[in-house]
Structures are given as C-alpha cells and as structure tokens.
Amino acid sequence: MKRREFIKKAGLGAAAAAAVAAGSAASAPFVHAQSKTAIKWRLQTYAGAALAEHVVKPQVDAFNKAANGEMVIELYTSDQLVPTGELFRALQNGTIDAAQGDEDSLASPVDVSIFGAYFPFATRYSLDVPALFEHWGLNAIWEEAYAEIKGVTWLGAGSWDPCNFATTTPLNSLADLNGKRVFSFPSGGKFMSRFGVVPVSLPWEDIQVALQTGELDGVCWSGITEDYTAGWADVCKYYLTNNICGAWIGSYFANSDKWNALPEHLKTLFKLTCDSSHYYRQHWYWWGEAHYRVNGEKMQLTSIPDAEWRQVEEEALRFWDEVAAVSPRCAKVVSILKQYSAEMAKAGPPYRY
C-alpha cells in the first residue's frame, strides 16, 4: 500500500472512531446519573421558582456536586409535585423524599407546628432563631415532638426574613388593616384577623396575578427582599415597616425510611449543605432588607405609630398564652420565648432597643 493511501485510510478510520465515541458521549447521561447505585431524592420546597433560587437551590447544587455521583437530589418548587399543604403527608407516604418549609404551612401534625413560620413577635432579628434552637433548648423540643410522628424525620431549623405587609394601598394606622384581603401564613393570618385582616390562601405562583386583579389587597408573607424577588413589588406599591415577627422559622424534613437508609457520610453532607443554606440566607436577607428600603424604587415605605402598634404586640402576648394552653410542650416553648425576650431586653442594644 502506498504511504499516501495508508495515511488517508488511517485518517478516515480514526475520524469514524472519534465520531462513534462522540455520539456515545453525547447520548450518555451526566456521569452522576450513570451509576446504577446512585441514590435519587426528590425535594420540594415551599418557595416559588424565583425565591427558590436563593433559599434552597444553592444547597441542592452544592450537595449534588459534593456527593460526586453517589446521590442526586432533584429540586421541585412550590406546589410542583404536591400542594404545599399536603407536603407533610407526601413525605410520610414517600411521594417525595425531602421537603423544605415551615410546619405551619406543611400541615405538620406536631403540636409545636404553630411556632413554625411567623409566630407573632417571637423574634426580632434573624439570629434569634439559631440562638433559640441551639442554645435555648428548642432543638431538643422539636426532636422530641417529631419522634412521636411516624415516617418523617426533622433535620433542623433555620431563619429567613421578617414578616411585613406589602399592600396595594397605604397602611398608616391599625384601622387601615380592617377588611384587607391578605395572603399570609396560617398562624400569622389567624393572629392578624384580630385586627380585621382577612387571610386568603392561594398557590404561591398565583399571588402576583391575584394582586393585579384585586382578589388580594396585599401580602403579609415576607420582608421586602422577597417582595422584590418574587415580583410582588411590581404590584404592591406600599411596604409597612412595622413587622409582626422578626424572622421566619423554616426547617428541612426527610422521609424517615429514606433518611435512615443513607450512609452516614451522606447524612453529614446533607446537614452541612443545609447549614450552608442557613448561612447564605442570613446575609442575603440582612443585606436585602436594608438595600431595598434605601435603594428600592418600586415601593413607598409607610409606618404605623409605635404607640398604636404596641396594641398588636400586647395582643400577641395574649395569643402566646392561648397557645401555651394547647399542650405542656407548647407551654414550655412559650415559657422559653418569654425568658428569651426578657433576657434580650435586659441585654439592651444591639439585642433590643
């Protein structure tokens, strides 16, 4: 064979082999999914797609990368697989493997679920949440409560943003709250109904349209960071600086069978990425709550005078006593909240002013 013909045929053969290899690579799934032994979980969050980009997606992405193909978590946003109010039951029966949200919204059957999300005036700042859970005994109480529930393992709590009103008309007095149809969390909405607020329950992704059509007069579901992130600032022109709680309490949960089946190193990795998520939200919200008040151009800030708003704070303490009567465990939590508030007040600035 002549040298030129040999080179030509050898080149064609190499090109064909390369094409086959490239085609195989293109059709093959990502290496994380190639292993037949890879563990797959489906995790659904309480948050809509825009908000999930901040409150959970970084955690899922970090876990999937660090798990190195041993395990993959698929993320689903609010109501995508099951309605948020059915998430806890879906965890129990294995429809989903993990969830992120608050007990109040997920309809958790534990007695302490009422303290999830925004328990009125339980916190002033986001750091109050980890302080209460890590140093004031709430971790042990939550673990005790969930030990009584079959099928779901509570994996820990973290803090989110404060709870303020964002409305289509301004709020300058308590009287302005009367009759306002507001999207809120169950306990927060129930509490604020004492001041004439009408709580409305809707799927998260429907809120902006409901505000545009007048079905809702506002939201009492977040701080100003989420108002801008979710697009609610585009339709709510007013933001009330008085809040009914300083930080949302949210948790991670897993189906117990799926959690118990994980090797210890993956359990540790999952919890570490949860902690990373908690840290990210601490600084993201702390930055955002100030940034959008000062630099946001879509919402006008309004305030109800402190003396008038004190009526809401005083009513919250009566609400606390009512909740304490639900069970001895609820009474213990309320007692801790009262002691914690008293100690923060004694500590003075910057803990309490």
Instruction: Tell me the sheet residues that pair with 76.
Output: 44
Torsion angle (degrees, nearest 10) of CA 325, 129, 244, 250:
-90
Look up the pTM and report it.
0.87
Output the pLDDT for position 204. Answer: 87
Distance CA 219, CA 113 (A): 21
> Is 39-161+248-288 a domain of CATH 3.50.50.60?
no
Query: Following DSSP, what letter does each residue of 70-83 receive, concatenated?
Result: SEEEEEE-TTSSS-
Q: Is the dihedral of CA 292, 294, 297, 302 positive or negative?
A: positive
Distance CA 131, CA 138 (A): 9
Output the pLDDT for position 37. Answer: 64
For residue 194, the SS3 value is helix
Instruction: Please give the helix or strand (H or E) that residue 199 lies within, else none.
Output: strand 198-200
Neighbours of 209 (CB within 10 A): 12
The set of residues, in sequence order, having a beta carbon less than 8 Å from that of 283 and lying 6+ positions away, is: none
Superfamily grouping for domain 163-246+296-347: Bacterial extracellular solute-binding protein, family 7 (3.40.190.170)
Report the candidate in 208, 212, 106, 220 with the shortest Cα–Cα distance to residue 161: 220
pLDDT tens-place values along the chain, 353 residues long: 444 443 344 444 444 444 444 444 444 444 444 445 699 999 999 999 999 999 999 999 999 999 999 999 999 999 999 999 999 999 999 999 999 999 999 999 999 999 999 999 999 999 999 999 999 999 999 999 999 999 999 999 999 999 999 999 999 999 999 999 999 999 999 999 999 999 999 988 899 999 999 999 999 999 999 999 999 999 999 999 999 999 999 999 999 999 999 999 999 999 999 999 999 999 999 999 999 999 999 999 999 999 999 999 999 999 999 999 999 999 999 999 999 999 999 999 999 98
- Which tokens is 307 given? 């003396």
C-beta of residue 256 within 8 angstroms of C-beta of residue 152: yes
C-beta of residue 40 within 8 angstroms of C-beta of residue 71: yes
- Which tokens is 349 given? 């600035």
Which residues of the chain are in CATH 3.40.190.170 domains? 39-161+248-288, 163-246+296-347
CA 284 to chain centre: 13
